[in-house]
Amino acid sequence: MNTKKIGFIGGGNMASSLISGLIASGHSPQQLWVSDVNPDTLNALAKNLKVNISASNDALINDVDVVVLAVKPQVLKAVAESAAAQIQQKKPLVVSIAAGITQNSLSLWLGAGVAIVRCMPNTPALVLTGATALHANKNVTAEQRNQAENILRAVGISLWVDNESDLDAVTAVSGSGPAYYFLLMEAMEKAALEMGLSEHMARLLVQQTALGAAKIALESSESPEQLRQRVTSPGGTTQRAIETFQQGGFSELVGKALRAARDRSIEMSNPAEHD
């Protein structure tokens, strides 16, 4: 399976991270191809990561078994439509990482019968700590599912959803999620400064605390609620803060925010948004 040739159309941030992750997890750069409109991007990838570069998207499709569509959603329609003839002829597995572009749109642009895995990765993929959900259409074989999963697992964890519509909830949770944590970090840092800590200290304390809490949560079998209760002594400082959050409607506000993100994801999946 590791011997499959993988090609990336678009050699930007996500493609570079996926390529770095694949190489770090044992793929040879010689199995990897990239095409991009920008020759400087391609030359940098060839120089730094030693991957093959393709003169055109069609040439890349001709060379590989798996095509990863790694361009921005706004240009994906044009890229997919111009690649359709070559995809139909070569019939590779197509993996799309473009946010908000549905299986329906991809099938319409690429033509019928193509094996397509649609993924929703998130930004921490750039530091190999991503969380990705994947959805396969009915043309994807079991072997191709493994191939797609292997690619995304190179930059973090990956999980399958049976219903494509679940990707809207995934978008609201892990897709947009890093920004929620940044917002909390931003607010905590501001409060720390107001309480007299230096900028350096406020930032480092907030960052390290976020990392520590995430590590404990990942390594523990207990729920976040149990972990929270464990670090909240009755009558102590943490309890006072937690009560203040709860009195301000924290949980309800988080629920409302995630539902708003999910609803926006549904709106953005409307093909009219990509015309």
Ligand X SMILES: NC(=O)c1ccc[n+]([C@@H]2O[C@H](COP(=O)([O-])OP(=O)(O)OC[C@H]3O[C@@H](n4cnc5c(N)ncnc54)[C@H](OP(=O)(O)O)[C@@H]3O)[C@@H](O)[C@H]2O)c1
Closest contact distance (angstroms) between CB of 111 and ligand X is 18
CA–CA distance, 131 with 140 (Å, rounded to integer): 21
Q: Is the dihedral of CA 221, 225, 226, 230 positive or negative?
A: positive
**Residue 42 or 140 with smaller CB distance to ligand X:** 42
**Of the two residues 74 and 209, which places its CB atom closer to ligand X in the complex?**
74
User: CB neighbours of 37 closer than 8 A, spacing ≥ 6?
Assistant: none
Report how far residue 140's alpha carbon sits from residue 111's, in angstroms, rounded to the nearest whole number: 15
> Which is closer to ligand X, CB of 29 or CB of 73?
73
CA distance 91 to 163: 24
Cβ-based nearer residue to ligand X, 15 or 206: 15
Nearer to ligand X, 38 or 209 (CB): 38
Q: Which is nearer to ligand X, 84 or 242 (CB)?
A: 84
CB of 114 to ligand X, least distance (A): 18
In the complex, which residue's CB is closest to ligand X?
A: 12
Q: Which of 153, 129, 96, 136 is closest to 211 using CA atoms?
A: 129
Closest approach of Cβ 229 to ligand X, in Å?
34
Reduced to 3 states, what is the DSSP secondary structure of residue 120? strand
What is the Cα–Cα distance from 80 to 87, expressed in whole angstroms? 9
Instruction: Choose between 13 and 226: whose C-beta lies nearer to ligand X.
Output: 13
Residue position matching structure tokens 């399958």: 160
Strand bridging mode 6-9 / 66-69: parallel
User: Among residues 36 and 168, whose Cβ is nearest to ligand X?
Assistant: 36
Q: Which residues bind ligand X (CB under 6 A)?
A: 9-15, 35-38, 41, 57, 70-73, 75, 79, 97-99, 121-123, 125-126
Q: How far is the CB of 268 from ligand X (least distance, A)?
A: 10
Smallest separation (angstroms) from ligand X to the CB of 17: 8
- Closest distance to ligand X from the beta carbon of 133 (Å): 11
Q: Is the separation of the CB atoms in 151 and 68 below 8 Å?
A: yes
To ligand X, the closest distance from the beta carbon of 36 in angstroms equals 4
**For residue 9, what are the β-bridge partners?**
35, 69
CA proximity to 69, closest of 88, 93, 86, 51: 93
- Rounded to the nearest whole angstrom, what is the least distance from the CB of residue 7 to ligand X in the complex? 11
- 127 C-beta neighbours (distance < 10 Å), count: 10
Give me the phi and psi of 173, to 5 degrees please.
-90, -65
d(CA 217, CA 230) in angstroms, rounded, equals 12
